[in-house]
Structure 1
Amino acid sequence: MPDVDLKPGSPEWLRTVTASKIPVILGVSRYKSQYTLWHEMAGLLEPEPISQQTQELFDYGHAAEVAAAEFWKWRNPGWRLSQREVQYSRDDLPFPNAATLDRRASRGRSRKAVEVKTAESLEEWGDDGSGEMPADYAAQVIWQQYLSGFTDPADLVLWPTFGRPRIYTVEFSEVRAEAIVAKASAWTASLAAGTPPPLDTTISCYETVRRLHPDIERDREVEISPDLAARYLTANADRKVIDVEERGTKTEVLSEMGQAQYATCQGYRIADRRNAKGGTVALYANTKTDFLEGIPA
């Protein structure tokens, strides 16, 4: 597979199906809507400019790559790592494609991909050595394996904000890789046909629609369907009620917890208190708990 040198943010990069776009195309991204990416790749919407906070996260991630590479080499004696990222592409696919490996590992004739990720929370990760990880990261790694041709099990080094780094193994799956290629082919065909994906409920999609229609034609009216009008007004009213109820129960939980870090019930962790700005604390619900499944309907 030939090496390529695409620069993130360039017009060529924007039109190319890269590893970072694969989770969005598959609909498993935690960060970006399909609707958003489609309009960016179609040239109808400029990607959001990188904020200072986001750039700092990128910088931290690049620094973590250096440390993670040394950690990986310590765990894998006899292997060598590339000094920097390596990009690959396949000429036999019917659309522009690329995958950037954080590091390329080699030992004799063996090659494998090594990816590095940072995380503030470990809720979506399994034990060290397992392949249990967020679906968007797993999809990225399989794409990297497919384009590079390095089908030996890849390693993903997780560099958490708190705790020691962990290494996760990602097994290559030809079936999954072919399914990803099929999705990517359909995606690029939809770009050529000018057929965007449907709207969804993500913040990313909402912000995209706002950016697509920034101007206001004063006094112009648009007739919407009775169903949409009813759903919107009902949801707006329900949200106000839910916000009040949620704030009330949060207050009660915080009061019950006092100085404790965790709130539990019948062996389940329900919520935890975390430090917030201004010397205060914030309450976070444990959205992964199975507690509600044991409550009779």
Structure 2
Amino acid sequence: MPEESYHIVPGSEQHRRLITGSKIAAILGISKFETPAELWLRMRGDVPPQESTPAMRRGHNQEAAILDWYFTEIRPDLTMTAGETTFTRPDLPWAAANPDAVALEDGHTVFIDAKSIARDGGEWGKPGTDQVPAYYVTQMLWAMHMTHGDGGLHVTRTYIVKHGPYVDQTDEYYVDYDPALAQWIQDECHRFWLSLADDYACPDPTPRAGIHKTFAKLHPDIRPDSEWQIHVDTAREYLQAQEARKDAQAREDAAKAEILRCMGDAKTAMCGDVKLGYRRPTKSGVSFYPPVRPAHIEDLPDTPTQAAA
């Protein structure tokens, strides 16, 4: 029996209960945006739905324009057959996927996914390759996996069209279907989905800036004159993290001070070809700001001589 195709609206109650492509990276613990614990709480309805962010709204609003440019200017050889479509499999009733577009390439069905990127972060490789961030690879694999049931379309390639970080930059990448990896992802996701029925199966919190805000929503009420004893290991981790944050901030401020001392009245601080930041006037004087595209240690020259070359 072939997979069904219709449309499940992201953010709807039906969508919340299903394992969909955008949730795969979080389940596997490789998402930059959400941890397994946060997703677990959200899928159960223990905390409110994820709030829309400017980045999410930007991607949604630009999606149609990115796809139009892609099919018109970059890949006019592809024939778009459908926009965003939901694919499910009868043998996986707990799963679904919503590729942004469906097209034909030499008679074979392919998926197209549009990404609006404000900052590259060095995660994307050379355009035209499969050098794509892992959290997007797993999302694309999941969408294709939804077509590999009995009688399905058996899609084996997804093209990712990335717009940004520059306004006139649109690049194409691809992800090919890997049946072994897709099956492993299915098994991990099924275990996660089954755990949602167990009130005590919430994954342990893992490091992500802001994760505490999700857990703060679990118990909005406060009982006056009540207290709870926290395990000494948790208390120690909390206090050590506070001290480490103070030390890290002090190190960063000292490095900024040295940069500002060295650069004088120059606007931009460079190390070889790497832009470290720039000076900008403020109400209280001048401040040092990081560049739009973050600098990475691995991009720095190996020696001072190379930096000055």
TM-score range, shorter chain: 0.7 to 0.9
| Residues 267 and 280, structure 2, Cα contact 8 Å, conserved in 1 | no
For residue 259 of structure 1, the aligned residue among 245, 259, 266 is: 266
Query: Counterpart in 2 of 1:8?
Result: 10
Query: Counterpart in 1 of 2:182?
Result: 177
Alignment of 1:1-297 (within 5 A): 1-50=3-52, 53=54, 56-62=57-63, 65-82=64-81, 84-93=83-92, 95-107=93-105, 109-122=107-120, 123-148=122-147, 149-162=153-166, 163-194=168-199, 195-257=201-263, 259=266, 261-264=268-271, 269=274, 271-273=276-278, 282-283=289-290, 286-287=295-296, 289=298
Counterpart AA for 2:174: T
Q: Which deviates further from its counterpart, 148-157 or 134-143?
A: 148-157
- Structure 1: unaligned runs, 5 residues or longer: none
1:173 to partner: Cα distance = 0.5
How many residues align structurally? 288
| Residues 82 and 103, structure 2, Cα contact 8 Å, conserved in 1 | no
CA change 1:103–1:269 in 2 (3 A) is: same
For normalisation by structure 1, the TM-score amounts to 0.85
Give the distance between the partners of 1:76 and 1:238, measured in 2 at CA: 50
What are the superposed Cα offsets for residues 259-294 of structure 1, whole Å, 9 maximum, x if unpaired?
354532xx6837233879999651256245266999
- Structure 2: unaligned runs, 5 residues or longer: 148-152, 304-309
Give the distance between the partners of 2:104 and 2:280, measured in 1 at CA: 43
| Residues 59 and 116, structure 2, Cα contact 8 Å, conserved in 1 | no
Give the distance between the partners of 1:276 and 1:134, measured in 2 at CA: 36
Counterpart AA for 2:108: S
What are the superposed Cα offsets for residues 131-163 of structure 1, whole Å, 9 maximum, x if unpaired?
111111111111111113443322100011304
Give the distance between the partners of 1:113 and 1:107, measured in 2 at CA: 10
| Residues 80 and 102, structure 2, Cα contact 8 Å, conserved in 1 | yes
SS of residue matched to 1:183: helix
Q: Percent identity?
A: 24
Give the distance between the partners of 1:10 and 1:159, measured in 2 at CA: 27
| Residues 117 and 157, structure 1, Cα contact 8 Å, conserved in 2 | yes
Give the distance between the partners of 2:297 and 2:105, measured in 1 at CA: 40
